[in-house]
Structure 1
Amino acid sequence: MKKYEIKETKVIPPEQLYHLYQSVGWSRYIREFDKLTAGLKNSLKVLTAWDADKLVGLVRAVGDGATILYVQDLLILPEYQNQGVGFSLMKKLLANYPQVMQKVLMTEEAPDVRHFYEKCGFISADQGSGVAFYRFE
């Protein structure tokens, strides 16, 4: 298992941020890189995972921190996936907002993705009493 340290920071070397998003195939984010960096800057919280000076993971949340917390991004370098990095980042993020009743996220449907978020305590809208709507443009 690789070692890593979790830090709270919105200051990330652009080339490392670009590489992280590229490594997981999130090309739309890096196509409009200025929007990504502005989004990070304006996020409620950004937690990062580092192996020495190498960015290996990131989770960010948007919302008001009182009534709603929206987990916007959770990315882990492929070679660090399935080693607890994502779970640690999510656990630390959620621990910052125990008072927030509504914690939400939207992601792709895949068995491993579903399993991961259920392990983090999330319930899929198709399994609970809620309904989810979205609009991509």
Structure 2
Amino acid sequence: MQNVRFSGDLTEVKWHEVAELLHYYGLTKLSEEKIKESFFNSYRCVFAFDEDEKLIGVVRAVSDGVAHAEIYNLALAESYHHQGIGERLFKSLVEQLEGMIVTLYTHPKTVDWYKNLGMSQLNTALVLFLPEEKEWMLQEKFIDE
């Protein structure tokens, strides 16, 4: 495994790198500035950097700080997959959410990965997507209706 440094410091992040990573995986269509705003408005964030200090991974949580937290935007550069870094990124964030119920939604292709990390699948969760996102969500099998 390569040397990877994890940090929650928002001031050391190059936001174009975050935007590139999230856009690559289709996790958002927001502009770089809106992505930055969403991370600054989050409860906790974790960033992963390689030995050259290039951003290779991100994850964030939105929370009331007491009882509930939701995880968003977990993304890891493809060349770092299958090295345990994504798991470390996830666990680094979850450790900061101790005592809270943690939820997330993910692509159907990654549900089993999260289950292997201890997450349980909900049978009763509901969501209102933006109208322009709903068709894609149907195609990707996020929703059945």
Q: TM-score range by the shorter chain?
A: 0.7 to 0.9
> Gaps (5+ residues) in structure 2?
131-145
- In structure 1, the residue matched to 2:117 is 120
TM-score normalised per structure 2: 0.81
* Post-superposition offset of 1:55: 0.3
Shift of 1:27: 5.3
Conserved? CA contact 1:24–1:77, under 8 Å: no
Q: Which moved further from structure 2: 117-126 or 15-24?
A: 15-24
Structure 1 counterpart of 2:66: 66
Amino acid paired to 1:17: V
CA distance in 2, matches of 1:73, 1:93: 12
Range with greater deviation from structure 2 (45-54 or 14-23): 14-23
Answer whether contact 2:44 2:96 (CA < 8 A) is retained: no
Structure 1: distance between partners of 2:32 and 2:64:
24
Q: Match of 2:126?
A: 133
Question: What SS is found at the alignment partner of 1:72?
Answer: strand
**TM-score normalised to structure 1 length:** 0.85
- Deviations along 1:48-103, one digit per CA (max 9) or x if unpaired, are 11002110001100011211010011000011112111100111111112211x21
Instruction: Please tell me whether the aligned partners of residues 23 and 29 of structure 2 are also in contact (alpha carbons under 8 angstroms).
Output: no
**Alignment root-mean-square deviation, CA:** 1.5
Q: Distance in 2 between matches of 1:56 and 1:49?
A: 6
Helix, strand or coil at the partner of 2:29: helix
Structure 1: tracts of 5 or more residues without a match: none
For 2:38 and 2:7, locate their aligned partners in 1 and report how far apart those are by CA, in whole Å. Answer: 18
Identity of paired residues, percent? 24
Q: Is the 8 A contact 1:60 1:73 kept in 2?
A: yes
